[in-house]
């Protein structure tokens, strides 16, 4: 059997994401799969009553096209919906409306990984099984018919980390485009990994792993499969083509079922839905869709590095945290000098985030007050210790910069020295208590907001 080192790991990912729309994919029921009560966002269409007719949710189509455009994919001109036939209680029609031969988007690239396609389909209902032995199973249709986007990559991913990074970047993109919340733990984004190992140039047997509900489990499951499949091959056996689940508690994959080939689904175009010629729909023109695209994560990273010289770890902190980044973007125009942006970035990533981490009740400060502190520091009117103290006050107690920062210690010290010439002379003659008097005057002048140690240090330096 082959040596370990000769075996190559190959991974392709399938990522499903629930789209953010007001209503479901083919009916007017509310799109709220996590509604507190089961079976409230339902209607005859998403319950699959006979004789009902689906209608296409335009917003969902637009979301997928925008994602395709952002990923550099080719948008379809002709597209249609197909029936993917299978029997399961979560899909009482007996088929899922999906896309087969004519997906909305073909090709494209993310994080250097080539994409095969992105298509649009409907989500299924949710089965809830009782924990009791012989207990009943119930079906909740709130999720049935929710618009679901499916992205398929080419089998070109070669490590667990690359797969995890791809999934993280895709989640970020969906959030930037505001097309999905894409929380993996809520099932709004679901990743499946097709994993195989083989000698270079040969084809391995593909194993599909499902139930991956975190980035970590994506990476762990791939690492686990790499070891498992190697052991199978080394023992002289063959890897079985199958679907495996991920047991997060035990950190292992387990066999679920033998994989159906796509032929088993008997795809055919859904006769109840119109074929779409996208070039005939004005709002779906590339020109119009392009106008709706925000700055994308990659573009933001480039801009932060190029315009402000922020270091890449810090850029990542902002780019991956939309709320923090919104604060940062609001702050930038309030800074007096472009060079202060990198100072602000340092204070945020070190000090502000450090404080927020220590106490989860704290919130991001007001950007205007934060800008004042950075501006004073940038103009060298306060030193770094003072800036950090002011930031702490602002974040922890919400004290505004008017109260806490309007203290220019350099000015105060100069004034004290001029006003107290005799005490200064005493200090210079060796009278130690004179210094304490001067510090006291400084505290008074700053209305108690200065740091006495800093004040003393600055006085000594000046004298």
The minimum distance between CB 148 and Mn ion, in angstroms, equals: 7
Residues in region 84-103 near Mn ion by CB under 5 A: none
Residues in region 30-89 near Mn ion by CB under 5 A: none
Residue nearest to Mn ion (CB): 150
Residues in region 150-189 near Mn ion by CB under 5 A: 150
Q: What is the DSSP letter of 342?
A: H
Residue number with CB closer to Mn ion (150 or 270): 150
Class of residue 42 by CB neighbours under 10 A (exposed 0-12, middle 13-18, buried 19+): buried
Task: Specify the stretch interacting with Mn ion by CB under 5 A; choose among 42-50, 53-61, 144-152, 270-278.
Answer: 144-152
Per-residue mark of binding to Mn ion, 320-339 (x: CB under 5 A)? --------------------
CA distances from 302 to 298, 299, 306, 335, 435 (A): 6, 5, 6, 20, 51
| Residue 137, C-beta contacts closer than 8 angstroms, at least 6 positions apart | 89, 127, 128, 129, 130
Q: Which residue, 426, 391, 6, 419, is CA-closest to 197? A: 6
- # residues near Mn ion by CB under 5 A: 1
Residue number with CB closer to Mn ion (103 or 297): 103
Residue number with CB closer to Mn ion (147 or 155): 147
Q: Within its chain, how far is the Cα of 337 from the centroid?
A: 30
Whole-number Å distance between alpha carbons of 188 and 172: 13
Q: Which residue, 90, 4, 18, 17, is CA-closest to 48? A: 90
Residue number with CB closer to Mn ion (82 or 150): 150
Class of residue 337 by CB neighbours under 10 A (exposed 0-12, middle 13-18, buried 19+): exposed
Task: Specify the stretch interacting with Mn ion by CB under 5 A; choose among 64-72, 145-153, 206-214, 276-284.
Answer: 145-153
Phi, psi torsion values for 79, nearest 5 degrees: -145, 155
Residue number with CB closer to Mn ion (267 or 437): 267
96 close to 84: Cβ distance less than 8 angstroms: yes
Residue number with CB closer to Mn ion (212 or 341): 212
Q: Which residue, 404, 400, 375, is CA-closest to 389? A: 404
The minimum distance between CB 119 and Mn ion, in angstroms, equals: 8
The minimum distance between CB 16 and Mn ion, in angstroms, equals: 6
Task: Specify the stretch interacting with Mn ion by CB under 5 A; choose among 38-46, 65-73, 148-156, 431-439.
Answer: 148-156
The minimum distance between CB 14 and Mn ion, in angstroms, equals: 7
Whole-number Å distance between alpha carbons of 65 and 29: 23
Q: Does 208 bind Mn ion (CB under 5 A)?
A: no
Whole-number Å distance between alpha carbons of 157 and 166: 9
Task: Specify the stretch interacting with Mn ion by CB under 5 A; choose among 149-157, 161-169, 225-233, 273-281.
Answer: 149-157
Residue number with CB closer to Mn ion (15 or 319): 15
Residues in the site for Mn ion, rule: CB under 5 A? Answer: 150
């Amino acid at each position: 059997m082959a040596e370990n080192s000769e075996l190559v790991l190959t991974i392709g990912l399938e990522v499903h994401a629930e789209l953010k729309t007001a209503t479901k994919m083919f009916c007017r029921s509310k799109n709220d799969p996590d509604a507190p009560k089961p079976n409230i966002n339902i209607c005859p269409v998403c319950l699959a009553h006979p004789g009902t007719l689906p209608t296409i949710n335009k917003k969902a189509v637009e979301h997928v096209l925008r994602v395709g455009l952002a990923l550099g994919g080719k948008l379809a001109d002709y597209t249609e919906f197909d029936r993917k036939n299978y029997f399961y209680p979560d899909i009482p029609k007996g088929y899922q409306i999906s896309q087969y031969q004519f997906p909305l988007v073909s090709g494209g690239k993310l994080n250097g990984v080539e994409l095969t396609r992105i298509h649009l389909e409907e989500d299924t209902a949710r089965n809830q099984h009782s924990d009791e032995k012989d207990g009943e199973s119930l079906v909740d249709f709130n999720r049935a018919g929710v618009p679901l986007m499916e992205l398929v990559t080419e089998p070109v991913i070669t490590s667990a980390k690359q797969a995890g990074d791809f999934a993280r970047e895709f989640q970020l993109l969906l959030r930037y485009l505001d097309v999905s919340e894409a929380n993996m733990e809520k099932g709004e984004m679901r990743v499946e990994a097709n994993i195989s190992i083989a000698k270079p140039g040969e084809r391995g047997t593909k194993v599909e792993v499902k139930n991956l509900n975190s980035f970590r489990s994506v990476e762990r499951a791939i690492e686990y499969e790499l070891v498992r499949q190697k052991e199978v091959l080394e023992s002289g056996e063959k890897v079985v083509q199958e679907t495996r689940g991920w047991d997060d508690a035990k950190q292992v994959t387990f066999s679920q079922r033998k994989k159906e080939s796509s032929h088993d689904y008997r795809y055919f175009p859904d006769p109840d839905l119109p074929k779409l010629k996208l070039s005939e729909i004005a709002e779906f023109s590339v020109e119009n869709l392009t106008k709706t695209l925000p700055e994308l994560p990659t573009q933001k990273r480039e801009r932060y590095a190029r315009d402000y010289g922020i270091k890449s770890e810090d850029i990542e902190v902002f780019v991956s945290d939309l709320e923090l980044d919104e604060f940062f973007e609001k702050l930038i125009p309030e800074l007096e000098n472009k060079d202060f942006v990198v100072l602000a970035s340092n204070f945020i990533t070190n000090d502000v985030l450090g404080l927020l981490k220590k106490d989860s009740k704290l919130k991001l400060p007001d950007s205007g007050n934060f800008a004042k502190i950075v501006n004073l520091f940038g103009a060298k009117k306060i030193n770094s210790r003072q800036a950090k103290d002011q930031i702490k006050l602002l974040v922890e107690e919400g004290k505004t910069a008017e109260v806490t920062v309007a203290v220019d210690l350099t000015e105060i010290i100069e004034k004290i020295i001029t006003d107290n010439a005799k005490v200064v002379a005493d200090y210079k003659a060796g009278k130690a208590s004179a210094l304490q008097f001067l510090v006291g005057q400084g505290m008074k002048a700053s209305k108690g907001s200065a740091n006495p140690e800093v004040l003393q240090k600055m006085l000594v330096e000046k004298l």
